[in-house]
Amino acid sequence: MPDRDDILTELGLVPTWRLRGSPMHPSAQRGREATAAVRGNADALAMETGPPTAARAARIATLEWRDFAADVDACTACGLARTRQKSVPGVGDIHAEWLFVGEAPGSEEDARGEPFVGQAGKLLDNMLAALGMKRGEVVYVANVLKCRPPNNRTPEPREVESCRPYLDRQVALIRPKVIVALGKSAATTLLGTEATIASLRGRLHRYRGVPLVVTYHPAYLLRNLPDKAKAWEDLLFARRMLQTAGAAIDSTAGASEIP
């Protein structure tokens, strides 16, 4: 015959009150273990989507190109993986001289898994063509964030910091001669400042030791056509800087060969 605890368990009226030190009924013990298991899964998920850790950043810093895109696609550090369609690691020449960095993927980038597509991408390609360049040849294009924020909202600081190790690894692997920050958000994120884009343009900055030039985002230029001329000035400034640096390197190399 079932005892009192069995009947209460069947009716869903456990746990039962017991004196301290008295043994727990097996059915109640199973219920507690199940609850603990659920809490354990929740804790694991919280850890998975929690703040970036030094160990995670150190692991990403060892990635090679063959594993990079798959690692980005598997990332769940900030939670954007649950809302995006495709991750957008970046595209272009992995030995590029020029690295263009935007803020985050938009809706078309999210659908295709490639940065700077659509009208903004076409404008960027036209700007590159005017410099005698194109994607895939001496140019690499990426974003600070590798996943699209819902409704193209501004990235949250936690999302930026979760994704930054991937961008840092790209900089280390590519070893570009110049980084072009496209837009205020990318510029202020990389430079760690809240300065206006007007105050950042026309000056040489550095990110992780690499020269950095700030200009407008192509999407902004589509809405503000007169500023295209300013963006062109910024790209010419970046090219002059590269040419000057190249000449300095050649001069140093030549001097070292003199007996």
Q: What is the pLDDT of residues 182-196, one digit of tens each?
A: 999 999 999 999 999
Region 194-213: mean pLDDT is: 95
**How does the average pLDDT of the chain come out, rounded?**
81
Q: What is the mean pLDDT of residues 116-140?
A: 94
Closest CA relative to residue 9, chosen from 39, 30, 40: 30
Helix axis angle for 118-130 and 228-256, nearest 10°, is: 50
Distance in angstroms (rounded) separating the CA atoms of residues 71 and 223? 35
Query: In the chain, what are the domains?
Result: 54-254 (3.40.470.10)
For residue range 148-179, list pLDDT tens digits in order: 999 989 999 999 999 999 999 999 999 999 99
**Cross-strand partners of 179:** 99, 212
Nearest to 56 by CA among 70, 37, 71, 43: 71
Question: How far, in Å, CA of 229 to CA of 222, rounded?
Answer: 12
For residue 254, name the pLDDT band (cuts at 50, 70, 90): very low
Do 182 and 100 form a contact (C-beta atoms < 8 A)? yes
Quote the pLDDT of residue 245. 72
Cβ contacts of residue 193 below 8 Å, gap of 6+? 200
**pLDDT level of residue 219 (50, 70, 90 thresholds):** very high
Position 12 scores a pLDDT of 45
pLDDT given at position 246: 62
Give 11-53 pLDDT, tens digit per residue.
444 444 444 444 444 444 444 444 333 333 333 333 344 445 8
Radius of gyration of the chain (CA): 27
pLDDT tens for each residue of 66-110? 999 999 999 999 989 999 999 999 999 999 999 999 999 999 999
Structure tokens, 253: 């190399």
Tell me the three state secondary structure of residue 93. coil
The per-residue pLDDT for 50 is 46
Which residue reads 């030995």 in tokens?
Answer: 95
pLDDT value of residue 148: 96
Quickly list H helices, the chain. 4-10, 26-48, 54-60, 65-74, 107-112, 118-130, 157-174, 184-191, 197-200, 218-223, 228-256
Choose between 1 and 191: higher pLDDT: 191
Residue 8 reports pLDDT greater than 60:
no
